[in-house]
Copies of this chain bind each other. A is one copy, B any other.
Amino acid sequence: MTSTVLDVLTIGNAIVDVISQIDDDFLDRHEFKKGVMTLIDEAQAEALYAATSARLEMSGGSAANTAVGIASLGGRAAFIGRVKDDRLGEAFSRDLRAAGVAFDTPVAVGGPPTGRSLVLVTPDAQRTMSTYLGACAELEQEDMDPTRIAGAEITYLEGYLWDREAAKIAFREAATTARAAGRKVAFTLSDAYCVARWRHEFLELIAGHVNVLFANETEILSLYETDELDEALIRVRGHCDIAAVTRSERGSVLLADGDTYYVPAEPVANVIDTTGAGDLYAAGVLYGLVTGRDMPTCGQLGAIAAAEAISHYGARPETPLKVLVSEKLGY
C-alpha cells in the first residue's frame, strides 16, 4: 500500500447556508419540524427566502464542513461535491480553498444553480434546515477520482447524498474504490428523516462497506427502529469497526473492539447555533483516528471541535481547532 496524500477525503452535497434567526412561531406557521432537514424545490426555496430577513450567507454542506474541520485541526483534507458556476458556487469554492481544503470537482456550467440550505435558528440555538439541492444532483460516478480516494486514509460520506440516484451510485463507487485500495470508509447517517427514507439501504451499506459510523441518538434509534439506545448500540456493534454516537450536551458514546467509551461534552458558555456540531464532531474523531489517538482522545477531539462550532453562527471554525486542542490537551 502506498503512502497517503490525504488524511480524509469527504464527499457530500456542496451547500451554501443562508442563516436566519426566527422564533418558534415561524416554524409552526411554516409547519417545519424543528432540528431536521427537509428537501425543498427551487420555488419553495425562493418563497422561503422571501419570508425571512437579516440573512447571513455562509458556506456549509455537512461533509464540506467536516473537511474544513480536519484542515483546521492540521490534517490534510479534500472534498468532492458539485457546485454551479454562479455566485454561490464561487463563494463555496473560494471559502473551501481558503480554509485549506483541496477541492477540484468540475463545476457545472448548465443546469440548476448551486445548492443552498435555508437554516432557521430559533432562540434555543436549534437549527431547522430546508435544503434545495440544485447542482448537487449533478454529482456523478465519474467525479469519484480514484487517485484521490486511493490516496486518502479515510473516505467520509454523508447520508444526505442518498437523496439523489446518481449520487448514490457515485457514493457506492467511492466506497468500493476506497476499500479496494485498503483504505477505510466512514459514513454519517446525517439526519433522522434521511434515515427513515433510506433505512434498508443504509443498513446494507453499513454492514458491507462502512468502517466508522457517525450518528446522533435520534438517527441511530431510527436506523434500528427502537426507543432504547442500549439496544441500538448492541446492534450497531456488529455492523462496523467503530461507531460514534453523539448525544448533544450529554456528550458522545464510542464503540470499538467490544469496548464502550462515554465522552463528556465540552462546556460552552453560550450556545448560539448548533449548525455543524455533528460535522465538526466527526472531524475531531476522524483526525484522532488518522493521528493514532486512543478512542477517548478521539471523542474528546470531537467534543472540542463541536463546542467551537456551536459557540457562533455558521458551521465552520472561527478559532483554529489545532490551537484550541493545544490549549486544552497540551499538544
Q: Name the residue among A3, A78, A99, A316 with the largest chain B CB count within 10 angstroms.
A: A99
Mark contacts of A290-331 with chain B using CB atoms, 8 A cut-off: 1 yes-contact digit, 0 otherwise: 000000000000000000000000001111101100110011
**Binding stretch for chain B, among A15-23, A69-77, A116-124:** A69-77
CB <8 Å contact, A102 and B326:
no
Q: Does A100 contact B (CB under 8 A)?
A: yes
Are B71 and A101 neighbours in the complex by a CB distance under 8 Å? Answer: no
Q: Are A100 and B322 in contact (CB under 8 A)?
A: yes
Measured between beta carbons, the chain B residues less than 8 angstroms from A330 are 3
**Chain B contacts for A101, CB-based, 8 A:** 320
Taking a contact as CB atoms under 8 Å apart, the answer to whether A3 and B331 are in contact is: yes
- Confirm or deny: A39 has a beta carbon within 8 angstroms of a beta carbon on chain B: no
Q: In the bound complex, do residue B74 and residue A320 qualify as a contact, i.e. CB atoms below 8 Å apart?
A: no
The distance in angstroms between the C-alpha atoms of A76 and B331, with both chains bound, is 11
State the copy count for this chain. Answer: 2
Which chain B residue has the least Cβ–Cβ distance from A74? B74
A6 touching B72, Cβ below 8 Å = no
Q: How far is the CA of A331 from the CA of B95 in the complex (A)?
A: 26
A304 to chain B, nearest CB (A): 14
Check if A126 is an interface residue, CB within 8 A of chain B. Answer: no
The answer to whether B6 touches A102 (Cβ under 8 A) is no
A102 and B323 CA atoms in complex are apart in Å by: 8
Given A3-B331, A326-B5, A331-B3, does the pair A100, B76 have CB atoms closer than 8 Å? no
Q: Bin chain A's interface residue count.
A: 20 to 34
A97, CB-defined interface residue at 8 Å: yes
Contact (Cβ within 8 A) B71 A327 = no
The closest CB in chain B to the CB of A320 belongs to: B100
- Complex Cα distance, B319 from A98, in Å, reads 9
Complex contacts, A3 vs chain B, CB 8 Å: 326, 330-331
Query: Known: A6-B326, A327-B5. Is A320-B102 also a contact (CB below 8 A)?
Result: yes
B100 near A71 with CB under 8 A, answer yes
Q: Decide yes or no whether A4 CB sits under 8 A from chain B.
A: yes
**B102 A319 Cβ-Cβ under 8 A:** yes
Cβ of A326 and Cβ of B74 under 8 Å apart?
A: no
Contact, CB under 8 Å: A78 / B5: no
**A75→B77 contact, CB < 8 A:** no
Residue pair A6, B76 in contact (C-beta under 8 Å): no
- Please report the C-alpha to C-alpha distance between residue A323 and residue B4 in the assembled complex, in whole angstroms: 10
Output the least CB separation between A312 and chain B (Å).
11
Asked if A77 and B327 sit within 8 Å, CB to CB, the answer is: no
- Chain B's closest residue to A325 (CB) is B76
**In the complex, what residues of B have CB within 8 A of residue A320's CB?**
71, 76-77, 100-102
Minimum CB distance partner of A101 in chain B: B320
Contacts of A317 in B (CB 8 A): 100
Listed from nearest, the 7 A-B pairs whose CB atoms lie closest are A74-B74, A5-B326, A100-B320, A98-B98, A76-B322, A72-B100, A102-B323
**Can you list 10 A-B contacts with CB-CB less than 8 angstroms, sorted by A residue number?**
A3-B330, A5-B327, A71-B100, A74-B74, A76-B320, A78-B323, A99-B99, A100-B100, A100-B320, A102-B320
